[in-house]
Structure 1
Amino acid sequence: MKLVVGLAGASGSIYAARFLRALYEVEGESYLTASPAAIRIFSEEYETKVESAEDILSFVETKWKVKPKHKFHVRNFFDIGSDIASGSNRWDAMVVVPCSMKTVASLSHGLTENLIERAADVSLKERRRLIIVPRETPYNRIHLKNLLALDEAGAIILPASPGFYQMPKTLDDLGDFIAGRIFNLLGIEQNLYPKWLG
């Protein structure tokens, strides 16, 4: 499994952190890019000092004592000439978690001003799986129309709305629920939360 993972500037760093932690335990490799706003929000929400996507990976490894099986290649958010800016390079799917409404708006209108937007646009045009995890509430009409446009273009919209039937005990449990839902959409077996058995 080769992925592109984008962290856009929305609240909900826990969803990115728990997804990265779980992905570390899966054989494969991924490209990671994070916006300056995502890095700032991660610092604030985790009350830590991170200044780059590399720092976020280091934080995840250290906080949860990860033994990495997955290799991450960090790409500069501003480098729209990066390898993942072209459909001539292959990846299986892309995940934007969390996804800001600015990024949703840009993608739904075909605007690509940074590497997250460009790689996502490439994913859509090459008919690769694109999973968008928006973290906003409430949605206004513009948000809904933009999300609908992305759905119609082939993206999968997975709102950061965790379920509670797994009886979460911690905030990490809520993050794991969303990470597990992403894994399901990627076709990766997961045990991040118990399956509903009826």
Structure 2
Amino acid sequence: MAGCRRLILAITGASGMLYVPALLQLLAEQQVEVHGIISESGRKVLRFELGWTPEQLPLVSRWFASDDFAAPPASGSALYDAMVVLPCTVGSLAAIAGGYCGNLVHRAADVTLKERRPLLLAVRETPLNRTHLTNMLAAHDAGAILCPPMPSFYTHPKDMDEMARNYAARLCDLLGIAVPAATMSRWQGI
């Protein structure tokens, strides 16, 4: 997907908030406009893990309330290029897989799928039960890309920030957003 210039970032209440600023930084470096939606549980986990409010997250140009079904992400005519749910709870996964639009995160994901635009789900849960796996398969079959936040340790990250940046760069790869070669360690073989 060349030319991703505007996307939706949805933040739900799973652990893994350290990946969010890393992704936002890479998107800003590539001049990608980001509009955000955050669930109530996402607000709580963001505060707990990073000590931040959504408004303190850098580089989100516009926020929408999770209960605002009149917001632009609720319609395919708003022309977002893609959507990322990072981190994605298994509850959000279930809603998206089942086509249930209980909030703007779910509705925006549903719109993204119906418009056949890239939807990345960074599902964060372990261990996985059969229902989780079934929902992952249903989301995949609907067109979503499942990319759980699993760090690449073969890159020998020196700290958690580098680990998060490497994962965020992988999300950019999946979105067709080119990041500079120095941004991430890529497998070169042994």
**How large is the Cα RMSD of the aligned pairs?**
1.3
Question: Which region of structure 1 is more displaced relative to structure 2, 23-32 or 124-133?
Answer: 23-32
Conserved? CA contact 1:28–1:71, under 8 Å: no
Matches within 5 A, 1:61-80: 61=58, 72-80=61-69
Q: 2:18, 2:164 within 8 Å by CA — same for their partners in 1? A: yes
Q: Which residue among 121, 136, 154 is the counterpart of 1:132?
A: 121
Alpha-carbon distance, 1:49 to partner: 4.6
From 128, 133, 137, the equivalent of 1:144 is 133
Within 2, Cα distance between the matches of 1:26 and 1:39?
26
Tell me the CA shift for residue 192 of structure 1. 2.8
Alpha-carbon distance, 1:21 to partner: 2.2
**Residue-by-residue CA offset, 1:14-71 (whole Å, 9 max, x unaligned):** 112211122222213121111111111111112x252xx223x2xxx4xxxxxxxx66
* AA of the residue aligned to 2:147: L
Gap runs ≥5 in structure 1: 62-69
Which structure 2 residues correspond to residues 23-172 of structure 1 after superposition, within 5 A?
23-46=27-50, 48-50=51-53, 53-55=54-56, 57=57, 61=58, 72-172=61-161
Of 114-123 and 22-31, the range deviating more from structure 2: 22-31
Runs (4+) of structure 1 moved beyond 6 Å? none
Number of equivalenced pairs: 183
For residues 72 and 153 of structure 1, what CA distance do their matches in structure 2 show?
A: 29
- How far 1:5 moved relative to its partner? 0.7
Q: Percent identity?
A: 39
How far apart, CA to CA, are the structure 2 residues paired with 1:17 and 1:49?
A: 11
* Distance in 1 separating the partners of 2:62 and 2:139: 26
Comparing 23-32 and 147-156, the one that deviates more: 23-32
C-alpha contact 1:107 1:120 (8 A) present in aligned 2: yes
CA contact (8 A) 2:7 2:82 kept: yes
Q: CA deviation at 1:87?
A: 1.0
Q: CA deviation at 1:72?
A: 1.7
The equivalent of 1:196 in structure 2 is 187
SS at match of 2:8: strand
- Contact residue 119 and residue 145 of structure 2 kept, 8 A: yes
Structure 2: 5+ residue runs without aligned partners? none
Query: Against the structure 1 CA distance between its residues 127 and 141, is the aligned structure 2 distance closer, same or farther, given a 3 Å change threshold?
Result: same
Using structure 1 for the length normalisation, give the TM-score. Answer: 0.88
1:7 is aligned to 11
2:47 and 2:18 mapped to 1: Cα distance?
11
Amino acid at match of 2:136: L
User: TM-score of the superposition, structure 2-length normalised?
Assistant: 0.91
Counterparts of 2:11 and 2:120, CA distance in 1: 12
1:64 maps to none
Cα distance per residue 1:104-140 (max 9 Å; x no partner): 0001111001111100000001111101001111111
